[in-house]
Structure formats: structure tokens, C-alpha cells
Amino acid sequence: GAVVSQHPSRVICKSGTSVKIECRSLDFQATTMFWYRQFPKQSLMLMATSNEGSKATYEQGVEKDKFLINHASLTLSTLTVTSAHPEDSSFYICSASQGVTGIVWNTEAFFGQGTRLTVV
């Protein structure tokens, strides 16, 4: 399957600082990238969907000024957690889909390894 690289895998930061997480599709062009948050023993919670070259679409309840998403190219999307607080500590996972290939809408998602964020 296709490879999605997410960096860093773990980060510890001080309360009030910002953290940037990168998500790269290594061997395919990702028309659409998704950012998820996962709490322990729970399912994936979609935070936002980003399409290359356009503004991200945020899910209800997700603060777009706090979770800044940039999808500047077909292989890179970034999530910046601004002014992080302890309640932002979580596992953040990105995934990428090719989107439309020909006439087929391919929604198969390839996931990054995830980023464990701890805010102290």
C-alpha cells in the first residue's frame, strides 16, 4: 500500500507553545488529507479535511484558529496546535486519500504513524 509519513511521532511541549505536525504522502499524490484525534481506547475523531490549495473544512466543535491546517502541496499537509494546553494532549493521526482517479472516487485512507502530543 501507499506510504504516509507523519512527523514527529512524539512531542512534549510546554503549555502556551505551538506544535507543528507534518504529514507527507511519499509515493502518491494526496488530493485530500484528513486529520484525526484519538483518545485512549476510543475511535478516530475527524477534526478536519484539507484539499490541496484550498482552506481546510473543520468538523463541528473544532476550533480552526487553534488547529491550523495547511495543505500547500499534493504531498504535504501540516497541523499546528497553537497555544497548546494540557487538554490538547492526545494522539493525532493524519491520513491521505487519492480522491478522484479517473471516474472513481477512491476513499481508501492511508494513515501516518500518528503523533503523541503531551502538553505539560
Partner 1 sequence: GQQVMQIPQYQHVQEGEDFTTYCNSSTTLSNIQWYKQRPGGHPVFLIQLVKSGEVKKQKRLTFQFGEAKKNSSLHITATQTTDVGTYFCAGTGNNRKLIWGLGTSLAVNP
Tally of CA atoms within 13 A in the half-sphere of 78 that contains its CB: 13
The residue within the footprint of partner 1, chosen from 42, 61, 86, 87 (CB under 8 A), is 42
Q: How far is 69 from 81, CA to CA, in rounded Å?
A: 9
Tally of CA atoms within 13 A in the half-sphere of 106 that contains its CB: 16
Please choose, out of 16-24, 65-73, 74-82, 103-111, the segment that lies near partner 1 by the rule CB under 8 A.
103-111
CB of 16 to partner 1, least distance (A): 28
Query: Contact at 8 Å (CB) between 15 and 71?
Result: no
Contact between 109 and partner 1 (CB under 8 A)?
Answer: yes
Nearer to partner 1, 36 or 67 (CB): 36
Residues that bind partner 1 (CB under 8 A): 1, 34, 41-44, 46, 49, 93, 95, 105, 107-114
